[in-house]
Amino acid sequence: CAAVTVWHAMFEHAKLKAGDTVLLQGTGGVSIFGLQFAKATGIRAIITSSSDEKLERAKVLGAAHGINYKTTPEWDKAALDLTGGAGVDHVVEVGGAATLTRSFGALRPGGKVTLIGGLSGGATELNPGLIFSRRANVQGISVGSTQMFEAMNRAVEVNAIKPVIDRVFPFGEAKAAYHRMASGAHFGKIVIGVG
């Protein structure tokens, strides 16, 4: 689900191509799959995290740049600097209320924001001026179609992309898996398995 959701965002909504720049928020499953797809297709990825260690891991996976949003709270301005003031072509927005305004700040005029999640809660008030000033295209999505899933799987196969698994928990430890996810300590996907 995470992979086809970010595929939908990047290639169906934003129609990214080699040489474009995407901003990915955090190092959870959606963003790490997005990073892997970006690397495989020649898209420049900027990724955010509150952990320098996670940013280094993301760079090993192909991130062009990492921004620690704890030490650089104005990460939108940092993203602008990293793009020579132009702004990113696309933001994969998973943060919600705490990140949406900065997502528009990082965006190039005419760029796209795909709303996927709201980890920090739903935005209670949106300033339409943010959309007008960037002439932004904003779309909310969830998962993707069968055709998107099949296209994504072809790309996964051709590029030998393997999901990044943070940790596998036995089914009996499902509660611990959810606690790990809630803590934000994970990098990539958390798996709950049987056996």
Quote the pTM value: 0.92
pLDDT at 124: 55
pLDDT at 128: 81
SS3 56: helix
Asked if residues 2 and 116 have their Cβ atoms less than 8 Å apart, the reply is: no
Roughly what angle, to the nearest 10 degrees, separates helices 29-41 and 146-159? Answer: 60
Q: Is 26 left (phi over 0), alpha (psi -120 to 50) or beta?
A: left
pLDDT confidence band for 130 (50 / 70 / 90):
confident
Provide the greatest CA pair distance for the chain.
Answer: 53
pLDDT at 195 over 70: no
Token pair recorded at residue 160: 């030998």
Task: For residue range 38-49, list pLDDT tens digits in order.
Answer: 999 999 999 999
pLDDT at 107: 97
Asked if residues 4 and 152 have their Cβ atoms less than 8 Å apart, the reply is: yes
Task: For residue range 180-194, list pLDDT tens digits in order.
Answer: 999 989 999 999 987
Q: Nearest-CA neighbor of 189 among 167, 162, 158, 157? A: 167
- What residues form DSSP beta bridges with 71? none
Task: For residue 61, give the DSSP letter.
Answer: T
Task: For residue range 14-57, list pLDDT tens digits in order.
Answer: 999 999 999 999 999 999 999 999 999 999 999 999 999 999 99
pLDDT at 179: 95
Asked if residues 81 and 58 have their Cβ atoms less than 8 Å apart, the reply is: no
Token pair recorded at residue 177: 């898996």
pLDDT at 79 over 90: yes
Task: For residue range 102-125, list pLDDT tens digits in order.
Answer: 999 999 999 999 999 765 555 556
The mean predicted confidence, pLDDT, of the chain is: 93
